[in-house]
A and B are shown apart, each in its own frame.
Chain A
Amino acid sequence: MNYIEHVGKYFMMLFQVFKKPQRRRFFYESLFKEIEELGLKSLGIIMFISFFIGGVIALQTALNVESPFIPKSLIGFAAKRSIILEFAPTFCSIILAGKVGSYITSSIGTMRVTEQIDALEVMGINSLNHLVLPKVIATVFFYPFLISLAMVLGIFGGWVAGVLSGLFSGLDYIEGLQMDFKPFLITYAMIKTLVFAFLIATVPSYHGYYVKGGSIAVGKASTKSVVWTTILIVIFNYFLTQMLLT
């Protein structure tokens, strides 16, 4: 199947996904389950990575700023910009594409190969709507919180790294954080997060839903879905940056 066919099939899938849920009670149950699976269970890894990467960003910036003419507060400024603009929305989304994407593909793919999706269809249930919509809503609503947390922890990690290493003072860092603050950059990061969250939920769902074969096929589909979600995140990141910041 060529790429254009895949794109067409993906959009046809979305058409089925975005229909009114058959039972509201069921939908809310699934939604809360997905928020737990896709969001809350990713909190730990995002918090851990954000803190340490924030620290590394601040340390590397400090080590590369050797000139006495450059104020130390620039370290905080650069760390803030890097974390808000790229690290939190893009890097964390790529991590989530790996963690959550493989989970989505393998869970839906296993349902496909064990005929659970056929069972839903025979009962007259729109299986795409039933399985994918709660995932999309869960990621789109929850990931902005997750990414905001990543921003805060990343910036905090930078401050801790500076204070512990002695490369810059906490006050300089905080001064840098307050320097030239543009609220639109947060909006830009959130727009990116929403787009990436949508991709993280739908692209792996597509790969899982249309898997053919057995357990090996599910494994291959999981790998493929992570690769494609990452590629799409990178491509969309480029175009969104071009559209929103230039």
Chain B
Amino acid sequence: MIEVNNLHKGFGDVKILKGISTKFYPGKTSLIIGQSGSGKTVFLKSLIGLHTPEEGFISFDGRINTNFTTEEKRQWRQEIGMVFQGSALFDSQTVEENVMFPLKMFTKKTNSEMLDRVNFVLKRVNLENANKKIPAELSGGMQKRVAIARAIVMNPKYLFCDEPNSGLDPQTAIVIDNLIQEITEEYNITTVINTHDMNSVMEIGEKIIFLKNGLKAWEGSSEDIFKTDNEAVVDFVYSSNLFKKVREAYLNETK
């Protein structure tokens, strides 16, 4: 479980996060939503340790990441998988080398053991026979799947995804969403996704956190989001006519 307590973060005089507290549970897919500039990316980067909190703390199964020794931090890093918005694959390496990279860096497995593991995770993300391709030869959806494979190759306890659907067509986006959710449940991973995509919110949001101006403005499930009267959430989530109609239909159905 990840526990965030009164998290503050700013850059110079600009305060981005102004005291966020929440919890993320294993086996659940949690989504962070909010407008651009609401602090989502800073929040996610704080969770993965790329930003140090100014105040408050983040604990990972009871371990506060800012108190880690160098060795503990190294160990903790290996428990984290991250899928970046642009996939962040190493463009000079093949798919196989990209996925094998953390194994080569942090384990003492033999080449054949590493290759077995790489093939296993590539198969898990439905990307067989792409081992020798370089990222530039892959479509956006395939690149995202390689990024997911690289993120899970070390059996992480925590998986973080920054807008995993950006730049993908709706059909591929759903495939990626479902894949992340399946992996989360299958391996009991604590997954946190930063997203703008309302389809993801409806499809896989077991827990949703709405950020506004660096504060947690709302928290609930995808069911709750239909029922909420929170003005900020309603304005943001139901800004499109399609979602307004979906919500109306849902509310009429549940009356």
Contacts and interface: CB of A to CB of B under 8 A. Distances in A.
A68 interface: no
Interface stretch (B13-21, B23-31, B81-89, B200-208): B81-89
Given A26-B104, A115-B84, A122 B90 contact: no
A122 B50 CA distance: 7
A110 B73 CA distance: 27
Given A114-B88, A115-B88, A122 B105 contact: no
B111 to A, nearest CB: 11
Interface string A103-133: 0000000110011101101111100000000
A124 B73 contact: yes
Given A23-B104, A26-B104, A121 B50 contact: yes
Interface string A16-53: 00000011011000000000000000000000000000
A116 B90 contact: yes
A152 to B, nearest CB: 33
A124 B74 contact: yes
A122 B85 contact: no
A114 to B, nearest CB: 6
Given A23-B104, A23-B105, A26-B105, A122 B80 contact: yes
B88 A124 contact: no
Interface residues of A, number: 16
Interface string B67-106: 0000001101110101011101111000000000110111
Contacts of A121: 50
A124 B104 contact: no
Contact of A122 (B77, B86, B104): B77
A151 B84 CA distance: 48
Contact of A119 (B78, B84, B106): B84
Interface residues of B, number: 22
Nearest to B102: A123
Contacts of A115: 84-86, 88
A119 B90 CA distance: 9
A121 B105 CA distance: 13
A123 B151 CA distance: 9
B48 interface: yes
Interface string A129-141: 0000000000000
Interface string A175-217: 0000000000000000000000000000000000000000000
A-side interface mostly: helix
Q: Which of B85, B89, B102, B105 has the most CB of A within 10 A?
A: B105
Contacts of A114: 86, 88, 91
Nearest to A122: B82
Interface in B39-72: 48-50
A123 B105 contact: yes
A99 B170 CA distance: 43
Contact of A124 (B77, B84, B90): B77
Nearest to A114: B86
Q: Which of B88, B89, B102 has the most CB of A within 10 A?
A: B88
A148 B124 CA distance: 53
A142 B166 CA distance: 43
Contacts of A119: 82, 84, 88, 90
B68 to A, nearest CB: 11
Nearest to A23: B105
Given A115-B84, A116-B90, A122 B102 contact: no
Contacts of B102: 123
A82 B183 CA distance: 67
A123 B77 contact: yes
A118 B85 contact: no
Contacts of B77: 122-124
B104 A25 contact: yes
10 closest Cβ contacts across the A-B interface?
A124-B77, A115-B88, A119-B88, A115-B84, A122-B82, A116-B88, A124-B74, A122-B48, A114-B86, A23-B105
17 contacts: A22-B105, A23-B104, A26-B104, A114-B88, A115-B85, A116-B89, A118-B84, A119-B84, A121-B50, A122-B80, A123-B77, A123-B78, A123-B101, A124-B73, A124-B77, A124-B106, A125-B105
